[in-house]
Copies of this chain bind each other. A is one copy, B any other.
Amino acid sequence: MAIAVLAPACADEGMWTFDNFPSEAVKQSYGVEVSAAWLDHVRLSTLRLTNCTASFVSPQGLLLTNHHCVESCLGELSSRDDSLLENGFSAPTTNAERRCATQVADVLVSMENVTAAVTKAGDGFSDEAANDARKRTLTALEQACEQASGRSSSGKLKCQAVTLYEGGQYFLYKYKRYDDVRLVFTPETDIAAFGGDPDNFQFPRWSLDFAILRAYEHGKPARTPEYLKIDFAGPRAGQLVFVSGHPGSTSRLETHAQLEFERDLSLPTTLLRTSELRGGYIQYGRANQSDRELVEAPLNSLENGIKVRRKLLDALHDDTLMNRKLSEEATLRALANMPGPDPWKQIETASQRERAMYLPYTFIEGAAGFNSILFRYARLLLRGADERAKPNTERLREYTDSMLPRIEQQLYARVPIYGEVETLTLSFSLQRMREWLGPDNPLVRTLLARESPETLATRVVAESKLEDPEVRRLLWLGGKGAMDQSRDPMIELARSIDPDARALRRQFDDEIEAPINAASARIATARFKAFGTRIYPDATFTLRLNYGTVTGWTENGTAVPPFTYLERAFQRATGSSPFKIPDSWMRIKDRLDLRTPFCISTSNDIVGGNSGSPLIDARGDIVGLMFDGNIESIAGSYWFDPSNNRAIAVHPAIIREALDKVYAAKSLLAELEGS
């Protein structure tokens, strides 16, 4: 039924905003009351990390999240001689907790609907002018919100404008930010990511994917009265469970033309680039066994992306589902009976234009041709200087006043940068840019007129001074004057492509983003008219709540049960990563309870960004820690299949067993147990 699909409040599907949670439906299906107080408590106990979710689990700011969510922090805190990825980390006292220099944690304090103001800003303009006007309005709203909060007694907030329903709604989300987040505990990667890439998105599963952080304020553990208690007994099969967190991105409301663009162009192209880089990383690790950890974190993240995109591509190759999309569009078109040009057709036209500019946009403005941490610093500094010279509302949105503290945190953080890895990534990306844009592309010709990709990459990485945070700080503070005088070769590289990059950005915003936004907003209006609020917006890495049950599924006629147990992990181990159980576990194997539950499968509707989310029972206690989905869940980016889309959590009992017996982290465990 097309309508049932369009208005999917059936099954336990949905990534609901906290202001529109279907409490009534939960009550009808499960007899459970989700009160406003419960919602507030859960919301205020949930945090957004840089690319994950976490939750407060003690009144002293302790945070529970995934090991893979702190992987980049572990890399930053490691050196060639001491790898926290390999060895794990356990702080015996708060003094020993180590700051994750680039991490922040945001709590969503309140939400304000600003749809009317934003929509009105674009009224009467062309698509391009309206698009610009809306952006200026969003910046102005954020600025006013932050200034107002700075004057209030409850403290300064971060305000972020959020676009929901592809432009059907605009909100201001107001966050309390913790910018001092420290590492408390993490197990070794061998057990945290047991099964590695081969087991990623698989279930049954035995990955102890958890880590503990702590939020600090004024140099001391934060006081966090809103926190979630962990019930180490975990959930029962069939039990109602909720996930509060930040799903990163879905495309369920996108049109058939937009999905075709992903299927034909962006997914295959990205997969080719990342697969090649994966080969480069792996070969680097093979040839440099002792420096293998230098590429471990970027390789893991890359491999995760490859697996996701591979399955997304498979999903879009399902013609039945693609055709269902078309028929849903036809149904809504008929229901809505819109005046004026057909918005689906307008999006299709814009998507065709996007195809034509996709490669130059991706390689130059998207910087896929300049894959290097130092290059990203260079561009931040360069554009930061140019943009700060403009009034706040005239800037690129990522350089508004609201964004500056985060940029400064990144620029000032002392993190290790490995020249040979930088050269590897930069030379691969330059080479691929030359292939895809062609050696006769004017920018490619200019860049590579006398140097090969390898020579250019080697030179700019070797000669740049941007790995020094003090150099970056001085350039940032020096602003445009300092930047104009800088002869740092990475800055010169960024400067040499910036006019082309900005022109592509302008072209993209006007010719693709503006008409797509305008048409999408009209489709959203039609959808609201037809279905009211019985629909939820696509994921946007903002806070959502969903519900489901603890359940497995049926695969090729065989039931997959919802729990796994420690015993099987030992049976599955081979002694070689990624199927190696660390010595810390092997040594005390006979003292472990092999019947300890390890992982849990649930029917919650989650997606990347939900990593680290608490799995919560009706009382509001944590009964699991989300870290993955099954392989079928990846197609959830486009459509939710309740029969086999499953979320995967770490069971709290295995966390307790590990902290207690393997790592003897007694005081940490005591804090988690509230004793």
Interface flags, A443-458, vs B, CB<8A=1, else 0: 0000011111011000
Listed A/B pairs (17) with beta-carbon separation below 8 Å: A198-B434, A271-B272, A273-B275, A276-B276, A276-B279, A276-B282, A277-B279, A279-B279, A279-B281, A279-B282, A284-B287, A286-B427, A286-B454, A448-B574, A451-B574, A452-B576, A452-B577
A424–B286 contact, CB under 8 A? yes
Cα distance A284–B284 when bound, in Å? Answer: 8
The quantity of this chain's copies bound in the complex is: 2
B317, B450, B579: the one contacting A574 at CB < 8 Å is: B450
Identify the closest chain B residue to A631 (Cβ).
Answer: B438
**Known interface pairs A198-B439, A435-B197, A435-B198; A283-B279 also in contact (CB < 8 Å):** yes
Which residues in B have their C-beta under 8 angstroms from that of A198? 434-435, 438-439
Identify the closest chain B residue to A279 (Cβ).
Answer: B279
Which residues in B have their C-beta under 8 angstroms from that of A282? 276, 279-280, 428, 431
B439–A195 contact, CB under 8 A? yes
Cα distance A198–B317 when bound, in Å? Answer: 30
A264 at the interface (CB under 8 A from B): yes
B199, B424, B434, B450: the one contacting A575 at CB < 8 Å is: B450
A278 at the interface (CB under 8 A from B): yes
> In the complex, which residues 492-537 of chain A have their Cβ closer than 8 Å to any Cβ of chain B?
none
A296 shortest CB reach to chain B, Å: 15
Cα distance A428–B450 when bound, in Å? Answer: 34
A356 shortest CB reach to chain B, Å: 11
A202 at the interface (CB under 8 A from B): yes
Which residues in B have their C-beta under 8 angstroms from that of A287? 283-284, 287
Cα distance A310–B428 when bound, in Å? Answer: 18
Identify the closest chain B residue to A456 (Cβ).
Answer: B576
Cα distance A282–B263 when bound, in Å? Answer: 28
Identify the closest chain B residue to A273 (Cβ).
Answer: B275
Cα distance A453–B487 when bound, in Å? Answer: 46
Interface flags, A265-276, vs B, CB<8A=1, else 0: 000100111011
A247 shortest CB reach to chain B, Å: 25
> In the complex, which residues 346-362 of chain A have their Cβ closer than 8 Å to any Cβ of chain B?
none
A368 shortest CB reach to chain B, Å: 14
B268, B277, B450, B577: the one contacting A313 at CB < 8 Å is: B268
Which residues in B have their C-beta under 8 angstroms from that of A577? 452
A195 shortest CB reach to chain B, Å: 7
A272–B310 contact, CB under 8 A? yes
Which residues in B have their C-beta under 8 angstroms from that of A424? 283, 286
Which residues in B have their C-beta under 8 angstroms from that of A195? 439
Cα distance A24–B366 when bound, in Å? Answer: 55
Cα distance A284–B434 when bound, in Å? Answer: 20
A165 shortest CB reach to chain B, Å: 29
Which residues in B have their C-beta under 8 angstroms from that of A431? 282
A438–B202 contact, CB under 8 A? yes
Identify the closest chain B residue to A318 (Cβ).
Answer: B264
A502 shortest CB reach to chain B, Å: 24
Which residues in B have their C-beta under 8 angstroms from that of A575? 450
> In the complex, which residues 268-318 of chain A have their Cβ closer than 8 Å to any Cβ of chain B?
268, 271-273, 275-284, 286-287, 306, 310, 313-314, 317
Interface flags, A196-238, vs B, CB<8A=1, else 0: 0111001000000000000000000000000000000000000
A461 shortest CB reach to chain B, Å: 13
Q: Which of A273, A275, A310, A575 has the most CB of B within 10 A?
A: A275
Cα distance A202–B434 when bound, in Å? Answer: 13
A283 shortest CB reach to chain B, Å: 4
A277 shortest CB reach to chain B, Å: 6
Q: Which of A272, A273, A314 has the most CB of B within 10 A?
A: A272
B272, B427, B454: the one contacting A275 at CB < 8 Å is: B272
Cα distance A574–B424 when bound, in Å? Answer: 22
